[in-house]
Structure 1
């Protein structure tokens, strides 16, 4: 299969992976033929990239990090809980409180169990093909990325539970921000941005007294927008005053925000987001954390179309864990742009003179 930006998808192409609706249920199945109307509707729902079935790359399989059952359970808990918090607080108290620890503790156990079977896997783009409100899917993405990085860093299971809960609930304070403000497509005014920044403190207040939610997880919600040099919010703390978990989550939060569709811009690809993160080395984010993230992430995801310095073009079909920036590319077009009758695989880790010059026909 191939990963294509929606503007490169043409009627008659078939989906390579499912499209899920906001409830986590399959909306469009694999091999569904796309019409112009379906392509348009996908764009309207904020989907910038889709996996397309291609017989030349039919052997390419993208393995999910968590099972469909775990994903649906997590999605359901996030949506139902966040929506409950959006309701009147008096009604919540009358119903016996939130009980976040019980619900999300069970979810985290499932996520850790699933990810434990993929400890050596590279971090791929997570669910780019989901029609959902950004807040809910973003929370799950940040949890998956943070937990995988925590495993690579060497945290034990109890530590992973706390880190994962902090990541899963890091944006829970946004349930207290007006929806029209969260979904605003234009530039925020100073007052509007000040309002949105309060979500970090709101999140801490919601979580700090919750039974079975570690206080450190509440501090992850409080601190995930703090930065090493003190330029973050809400308190402008810096360096080691920011908890280590919150520093991981802050890095991943920024990455997922860039690689996910937002109402004010399209999603970036991983290599673009990593370039931006690197501009904040040792000022916004720790160099060691960015380096581990770089080594664990699929900078050029499987299925993405790349152009090489030779002029040839093809699709990424494999990753090199030791050299994530030099994947295996199946060459589909020669340097003249002609389709090859016999595509072949080129391992860029073995061909150091060849570089990736563009992605999806970008310059």
Structure 2
């Protein structure tokens, strides 16, 4: 699979992971073939990036999510329900006390932390983080991100290393002319110091 910006999505692309709405419900399920209507709708809803299945060149690349889809969905749903209730202040006061609200959030955060603590060799997916100055977000890459190299080639990040956020292994899928390669190959940027990532595409 590979991660692409919604503006690069094409009719016929197949979703590789579920997309969730703001309330935590499934917006589109993995395996859905995108149409122009779906793509427009996703862009209007503020979806910026999606994962697509690319059988030819990146079928075996799988990013590891920061938290499981189930835990994420439950947490988003609970936060959405609570915030919706806060907007309707009168309903909130009659339905839930601040003590109950605190307990609900405590349970959500406990579920997330329990999940994270059980993960071995956890590498945080930086696209899931919000960092005030944005440095790490803008200067790091994640598995399945499509990138352009200083050689002009385009590739997909297939493996990242905690100590080397800008020196991942990249599977090159297009030559500098933008033509797809019949036989993609991988470059370990930790060993090829003259090759760098110019930007995510």
Aligned pair count?
198
Match of 1:335 among 176, 183, 188: 176
Number of the residue aligned with 1:254: 132
Task: Check if 1:78 corresponds to 2:84.
Answer: no
Number of the residue aligned with 1:358: 199
**1:96 Cα deviation (Å)?**
5.4
Distance 1:354-1:104 versus aligned 2 partners, 3 A rule: same
**1:44 Cα deviation (Å)?**
1.1
Greater RCO between the two (CA within 8 Å, min separation 6)?
2
Distance 1:3-1:119 versus aligned 2 partners, 3 A rule: same
Q: Give me the whole-angstrom Cα distance separating, in 2, the residues matched to 1:68 and 1:3.
A: 17
**Is contact 1:299-1:324 (8 Å) kept?**
yes
Q: TM-score, normalised by structure 2?
A: 0.87
Q: TM-score, normalised by structure 1?
A: 0.50
**Is contact 1:306-1:316 (8 Å) kept?**
yes
* TM alignment of 1:69-108, pairs within 5 A: 69-88=70-89, 92-95=92-95, 97-98=97-98, 99-108=100-109
Higher strand proportion (structure 1 or 2):
2
Task: Check if 1:32 corresponds to 2:32.
Answer: yes
Higher helix proportion (structure 1 or 2):
1
Q: Give me the whole-angstrom Cα distance separating, in 2, the residues matched to 1:307 and 1:33.
A: 26
Distance 1:318-1:83 versus aligned 2 partners, 3 A rule: same
Q: Give me the whole-angstrom Cα distance separating, in 2, the residues matched to 1:332 and 1:34.
A: 22
Which runs of no fewer than 5 residues in structure 2 stay unpaired? none
Task: Check if 1:63 corresponds to 2:64.
Answer: yes
Number of the residue aligned with 1:43: 43
RMSD: 2.3
Distance 1:318-1:8 versus aligned 2 partners, 3 A rule: same
Number of the residue aligned with 2:158: 317
Distance 1:314-1:253 versus aligned 2 partners, 3 A rule: closer
Distance 1:101-1:334 versus aligned 2 partners, 3 A rule: same
Which runs of no fewer than 5 residues in structure 1 stay unpaired? 127-144, 146-251, 256-272, 275-293
**1:84 Cα deviation (Å)?**
2.0
**Deviation digits for residues 85-131 of structure 1 (CA, Å, limit 9, x no counterpart):** 22235x544445232221111111111111112363222123xxxxx
**Is contact 2:22-2:80 (8 Å) kept?**
no
